[in-house]
Amino acid sequence: MTFEGFLRYMTSEDCMIFKTEHQTVYQDMSHPLCEYFISSSHNTYLISDQLIGPSHLWGYASALMKGCRCLEIDCWDGPGNEPVVYHGYTLTSKISFMTVIQVINKYAFLVSDYPLILSLDDHCSPKQQEVIADYLTSILGDKLVTSTVHDEMPTELPSPEALKFKIVIKNKKLGTLEETLARKGIDSHGQAGEFEEEESSDEEQDLSHPKQPLLKKRQAHWKGSGPAYKKQRMKKINIAVALSDLVIYAKTRKFISFEESREKQLFYENNSIGEAKARKLAKLKANEFVQHTVRFITRIYPKGTRANSSNYNPQEFWNVGCQLVALNFQTSGLQMDLQTGKFLDNGGSGYILKPEYLRNRDTQFSPYTFTANHQGVHLTIRIISGHQLPPSSLSRTNKADPLVVIEIYGVPEDQTKQHSSVVKGNALCPRWDETFTFNVQVPELALVRFVVQDQLSLTSNEFLGQYTLPLLSMNKGYRQVPLLSKLGVSLHPASLFIHVWYFKQK
């Protein structure tokens, strides 16, 4: 092999840092749905902020092309008996529900064969709910899950493999799954049911869910104070039977407590918890949270004060086994880098099998404490050099002063970062030749992020590029690290040349 041939080999796909075998689906896809992390988006119809930004069909197409497997659709009554999708009680623009489903039908399985979950946030009247049900059945056709496998009452959720090329509706539901199966084949148009649900606390409403008028929020504070009033506050919900009967494996159920769920929650019921409440629960009752997510699908969504569509760190909720950690896909940055990096694994299918200790019903796992049988990893990364790094936006001559930051994201004890030295005035072929070591206690949950920055001053750096991937998806040996822009676009041929080695600690 000539020296030029050797260089070509070292910069080829064969020498990339991401394992080739992880670029296809290699995990066991026959476990129940609740045993997987599922790529999930929040307010998918928005492509900007949450107050005055546009709603656009591209939000759905873009998320699906990024491997997302759970889309959110906020449904409201529209003119002419045509439901619309937008962020309620705001000035965001409106798009037709029918066109949303048409776009979803077109893009649903272009990137992944595995089930797509449509999370409906339904505010429509029963009359327009029936229109929603009709569009779902007529446009999605055989893709839509309208009954259980073999029309028999199951005892656990089906697997991603069993639901390949299927679309699952997640929404509130009247009654039980048994009652739905008993009604199969009967036309339920014109029928509706009502049930009462306890309203969220003031804190939950203000921090987590903005989808109610500000005046109503204020009235809630004025009407009374103290626990006696809070207990009495109930709201009535009307649901069309035709829409309710399309909810098979993903009935939305209000989360009250882990104890209440253990006693009363059914396997096909799931919870949505705002990030503020979920963060408290994850810190105060970590193992109970893990045991809850072993049994039930749990969705986390951003708090309502994130009007600019910013994101929380998803890692803290993956650490306790939450399956649907919903992010604003339209907002780039560290949080979406972690989302993209995590779901590179398993062929970009949008489904990643959770580690055994997040699936075992008798698990004692907590991200804050480790048992003696948990095996950590000793990781060594040598940053050797860079190749054609992107120029600084503040530099016309590519005379950037680059440095590399290696960040580890995982359980709290594994969170760390280390910096290389700065190479002055050379972004074309900087050389560092520096070695960094990390002891990672829970490698199955750890993500490694390489960030290249330009040192502008002693106190500020400019982002040039990054690449994030799961620790256990890293190839060992001499490897190329491709770099991505802030928006997640390839910066080829920009890359880092590194050496990776890791082994299990005794």
Which residues are part of the catalytic machinery?
Answer: 42, 87
**Cβ contacts of 163 within 8 Å, gap of 6 or more:** 33, 114, 115, 145
58-65 vs 97-107: helix crossing angle, rounded to 10: 20
Q: How far is it, in rounded angstroms, from Cα 129 to Cα 169?
A: 13
Q: How far is it, in rounded angstroms, from Cα 177 to Cα 184?
A: 11
The helix or strand, by DSSP H or E, that contains position 103, with its residue range, turns out to be helix 97-107
Q: How far is it, in rounded angstroms, from Cα 261 to Cα 293?
A: 11
Looking at the chain, how many residues does it have?
506
Alpha-carbon distances of 254 from 119, 197, 221, 244, 377, rounded to whole Å:
14, 8, 22, 16, 39
Give the neighbor-by-neighbor strand order of the sheet with 490-504.
Answer: 416-419, 402-409, 447-455, 461-470, 477-484, 490-504, 377-387, 431-440
The helix or strand, by DSSP H or E, that contains position 129, with its residue range, turns out to be helix 126-140
**Cβ contacts of 271 within 8 Å, gap of 6 or more:** 252, 253, 254, 255, 261, 265, 296, 297, 298, 299
Token pair 């920055």: residue: 453
Tell me how crowded residue 404 is: count the other CB atoms within 10 A of its CB: 26
Q: Is 294 helix (H, G, I), strand (E, B) or coil?
A: helix
